[in-house]
C-alpha cells in the first residue's frame, strides 16, 4: 500500500461551528465536518442530515426523459412486449431487475437479457438484439450500456424496435439514433445532478411512467405500484458502481438502505443469509459498507465467473426455495472469484514492480490466462498498491482480441485516455476513474507505449509519481469517542464516493498488539489517554509497527470500540 499525503482540514471558525451546531442540534465536531464539506448553510445541512425523497429533483429535466416515458406508456396501452438489455455488472443487473419488476406491475410483458461476459461481451450485441426481435419485442430499453452503440441501435430499428437508452457512461461523439437517450452527461441535459447511476435512471423512469399513468387514470382497474421496494435495488446498484453518494444519490441510497433492510423479496432475504448480514446502522438500515463489501461482490461474481443472469433471477424470483438455491450459487461463484483474484493479483504485483522500476507512469499489464472476469478488481488492487493508473488485460489462449479494465488516479481520466488511443482499440468506454476496452493482442505493446505517454503528459511534474491524498477532518483523541458522539457522526452516513467517511487523526497512540491476517489485513490494539480501541487496516499487509511503539494514526470510526485505519501508522511526531 502506498502511504498517503495527509491534507489538513479547511478551517472553520469557532463562531460558525457553534452556530451551526446549535441550529441543527448536533455536536460541534459534526458541525465542523459539515462546514468543511461546504455545508455551512443551515437548510442545506439539515437536508443533508435528513435525506428525503420529497427533495428529489424533478426527473423531467433529464434530456430524453419525456420521450422515454411516453414510449413506455404507449407500450402499456398497446400491450406491447418490451425487451430489457442490461450490462452484466451490478448496476446493469439491478436496473434490469427494477424495470422488469416494475413493468410487470403495470401490466407489460418483458423479456430480460443480460449479456454473458465471455460470449456477447460488453454492450449491445446484434445477435441478442435479433433474438429479442424474433421473440416479439417492439421496444428495447438498454440499461448501463447503449450510449456507444450507434450501429447496434440502428440495427434494432431495422428490425422494428424502438430503442430507449438509459446510460451514465462517457458520452461519445457519435450518439445513437434512439427514440430517447437518457444520460445526464449529455452536454445539453438540463438535469443539474450528473452522478446518477443507470439503476438510478431506471428508478427515475419508473417515477415518470407511474405519474403519467396516474394522470391518465391508468390505475382504475389495477393497483398503483409502490416504488419504495425498488429503492433497495437503487442502493445496491449505486453503491456497487461507486457512484458519488451526494446530491440525488444520497437521497436514493439513504432511503434505499432502509428499504433494503425491510425488503420481503425472497432474493434479498437469501442474499442476507449467505452474506451473514444483520441491520448494523442505528436507524435500522443496512450500512453502505454491507452493500459494498458483502452484497455487491456476490451479485457481481456471477457475471465475473459465468453468467450474470443468475443474479438477475435472484433479484426477481418470488420463490424462496429458488432464491436460496440461486444465492448459494452466487456465493460459491464469489468464493471462486476470490481465489482466482488472489492468484492474479500476486502475479500482477510482480509485473508492476518491474514497470515501476523502469519509470512507467501507467501500468499496462497482461499475461496469458488472466481471467477476464476479475481484471477490474485486479486493476483496483494494483492502483491501490502503486498509485499509478492500472490497465490490466486478459489474454485467452487462441484468441486474437484481448480484454482489459482500467482503474485510474485523479490525474488521468480513464475514458479519455482510452479515447486518445481509439485508433489502436477495438472498443472502449467508461468513466473518469474506471473503464473497459478490447484490443488486438498484437497491438498491446503499442497501446502500452501510447498510454504511458498520455499518463506522463497528465503528471503534475515530469517523472513525478504523486502520493494519494488523504483528507483529514480533524484531530480526535480516543477518549472523546463516546457512544453519543459516535452516534452523532453516523448521521453523516451513508459514506462512499463523494461523501467519504470522516477521517480523524489521533497522535501519540501506544501499540498494545499487532498482527496480520491471512488475507493481509493489519490488526492493532491501540491505547491513548486510557481508551483502548481495536483497529483494522484492510490490505495493509505485514505490521509496520510493533508492540510498544508510539504512533500517529489516521482513522475512521466503525463503532464505539473499533476503528478503521485509513493509512499506514506513522512514528509519532510531537
DSSP state of 25: T
Q: Cα(first)–Cα(last) distance of the chain, in Å? A: 25
Q: Which residue stretches of the chain have pLDDT < 50?
A: 280-282
**CATH code 3.90.1640.30 region(s) in the chain:** 55-328
CA dist 444 and 448 (Å) reads: 6
Contact 397, 486 (CB under 8 A): no
Residue 398: Cβ within 10 Å count: 5
- State the virtual CA torsion across 126, 128, 132, 138 in degrees, nearest 10: -30
**The pLDDT value given to residue 430:** 83
> Between 296-305 and 266-275, two packed helices, what is the crossing angle to 10 degrees?
100
**The pLDDT value given to residue 182:** 98
pLDDT in tens, 141-184: 999 999 999 999 999 999 999 999 999 998 988 899 999 999 99
Fold for the domain defined by 55-328: inorganic pyrophosphatase (n-terminal core) (3.90.1640)
**CATH code 3.10.310.30 region(s) in the chain:** 359-458
* Residue whose C-alpha is closest to residue 16's, from 35, 38, 3: 35
Contact 146, 171 (CB under 8 A): no
One-character DSSP codes across 421-466: TTTTEEEEEE-SSEEEEEEEGGGHHHHHHHHHHHHHHHSSSTT--P
* Residue whose C-alpha is closest to residue 193's, from 248, 242, 231: 248
CATH architecture of 359-458: Roll (3.10)
CB-based burial label for 536 (10 Å; 0-12, 13-18, 19+) = middle
What SS3 state is found at 491? helix
What SS3 state is found at 83? strand
Contact 251, 55 (CB under 8 A): yes
Contact 383, 390 (CB under 8 A): yes
Q: Show Cβ contacts of residue 191 under 8 Å, excluding neighbours closer than 6 positions.
A: 57, 59, 61, 62, 63, 184
Cell numbers for 76, please give them.
402499456
Phi/psi of residue 535, nearest 5 degrees: -130, 135
What CATH class does 5-9+472-571 carry?
A: mainly beta
In 149-307, where does DSSP find H-type helix? 150-158, 198-215, 231-240, 247-262, 266-275, 288-290, 296-305
**The pLDDT value given to residue 530:** 94
**CATH code 2.40.50.460 region(s) in the chain:** 5-9+472-571
**The pLDDT value given to residue 11:** 78
DSSP state of 499: B
- Strand ranges of the sheet holding 434-440, from the earlier edge strand across to the other edge: 363-368, 390-395, 401-407, 434-440, 425-430
Element (H, E) at 398: none
CA dist 6 and 203 (Å) reads: 38
One-character DSSP codes across 513-525: EEEE-TTS-EEEE
CA dist 132 and 115 (Å) reads: 12
Amino acid at each position: 500500500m502506498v502511504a498517503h499525503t495527509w491534507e489538513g482540514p479547511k478551517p472553520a471558525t469557532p463562531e460558525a461551528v457553534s452556530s451551526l451546531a446549535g441550529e441543527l442540534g448536533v455536536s460541534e465536531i459534526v458541525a465542523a465536518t459539515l462546514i468543511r464539506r461546504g455545508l455551512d448553510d443551515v437548510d442545506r445541512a439539515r437536508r443533508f442530515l435528513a435525506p428525503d425523497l420529497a427533495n428529489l429533483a424533478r426527473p423531467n429535466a433529464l434530456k430524453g426523459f419525456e420521450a422515454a416515458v411516453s414510449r413506455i406508456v404507449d407500450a402499456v396501452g398497446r400491450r406491447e412486449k418490451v425487451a430489457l438489455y442490461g450490462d452484466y455488472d451490478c448496476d446493469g443487473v439491478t436496473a434490469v431487475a427494477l424495470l422488469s419488476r416494475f413493468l410487470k406491475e403495470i401490466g407489460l410483458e418483458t423479456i430480460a437479457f443480460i449479456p454473458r461476459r465471455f460470449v456477447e461481451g460488453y454492450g449491445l450485441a446484434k445477435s441478442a438484439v435479433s433474438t429479442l426481435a424474433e421473440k416479439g419485442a417492439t421496444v428495447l430499453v438498454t440499461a448501463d450500456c447503449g450510449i456507444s452503440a450507434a450501429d447496434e441501435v440502428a440495427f434494432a430499428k431495422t428490425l422494428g424496435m424502438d430503442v430507449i437508452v438509459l446510460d451514465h457512461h462517457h458520452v461519445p461523439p457519435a450518439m445513437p439514433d434512439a427514440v430517447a437517450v437518457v444520460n445526464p452527461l449529455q452536454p445539453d441535459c438540463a438535469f443539474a445532478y450528473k452522478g446518477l447511476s443507470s439503476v438510478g435512471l431506471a428508478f427515475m423512469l419508473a417515477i415518470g411512467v407511474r405519474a403519467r399513468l396516474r394522470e391518465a387514470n391508468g390505475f382504475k382497474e389495477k393497483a398503483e405500484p409502490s416504488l419504495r421496494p425498488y429503492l433497495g435495488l437503487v442502493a445496491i446498484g449505486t453503491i456497487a458502481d461507486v457512484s458519488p453518494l451526494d446530491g440525488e444519490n444520497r437521497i436514493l441510497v439513504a432511503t434505499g438502505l432502509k428499504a433494503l433492510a425491510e425488503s420481503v423479496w425472497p432474493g434479498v432475504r437469501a442474499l442476507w443469509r449467505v452474506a451473514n448480514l444483520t441491520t448494523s446502522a442505528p436507524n435500522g438500515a443496512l450500512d453502505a459498507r454491507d452493500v459494498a463489501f458483502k452484497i455487491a461482490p456476490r451479485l457481481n461474481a456471477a457475471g465475473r465467473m459465468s453468467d450474470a443472469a443468475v443474479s438477475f433471477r435472484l433479484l426477481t424470483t418470488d420463490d424462496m426455495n429458488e432464491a436460496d438455491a440461486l444465492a448459494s450459487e452466487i456465493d460459491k461463484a464469489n468464493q471462486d472469484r476470490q481465489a482466482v483474484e488472489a492468484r492474479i493479483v500476486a502475479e500482477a504485483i510482480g509485473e508492476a514492480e518491474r514497470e515501476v522500476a523502469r519509470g512507467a507512469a501507467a501500468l499496462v499489464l497482461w499475461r496469458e490466462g488472466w481471467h477476464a472476469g476479475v481484471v477490474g478488481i485486479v486493476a483496483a488492487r494494483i492502483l491501490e498498491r502503486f498509485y499509478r493508473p492500472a490497465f490490466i488485460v486478459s489474454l485467452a489462449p487462441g484468441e486474437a482480441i484481448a480484454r482489459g479494465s482500467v482503474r485510474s488516479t485523479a490525474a488521468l481520466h480513464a475514458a479519455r485516455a482510452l479515447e486518445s488511443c481509439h485508433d489502436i482499440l477495438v472498443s472502449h468506454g467508461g468513466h473518469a476513474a474506471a473503464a473497459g476496452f478490447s484490443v488486438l493482442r498484437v497491438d498491446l505493446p503499442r497501446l502500452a507505449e501510447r498510454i504511458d505517454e498520455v499518463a506522463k503528459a497528465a503528471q503534475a511534474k515530469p517523472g513525478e509519481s504523486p502520493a494519494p491524498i488523504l483528507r483529514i477532518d480533524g484531530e480526535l483523541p480516543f477518549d472523546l469517542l463516546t457512544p453519543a458522539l459516535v452516534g452523532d457522526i453516523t448521521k453523516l452516513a451513508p459514506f462512499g464516493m463523494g461523501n467519504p467517511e470522516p477521517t480523524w487523526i489521533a497522535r501519540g497512540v501506544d501499540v498494545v498488539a499487532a498482527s496480520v491476517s491471512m488475507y493481509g489485513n493489519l490488526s492493532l490494539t491501540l491505547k491513548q489517554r486510557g481508551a483502548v480501541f481495536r483497529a483494522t487496516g484492510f490490505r495493509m499487509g505485514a505490521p509496520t509497527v510493533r508492540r510498544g511503539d508510539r504512533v500517529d494514526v489516521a482513522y475512521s470510526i466503525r463503532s464505539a470500540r473499533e476503528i478503521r485505519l485509513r493509512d499506514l501508522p506513522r512514528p509519532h511526531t510531537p
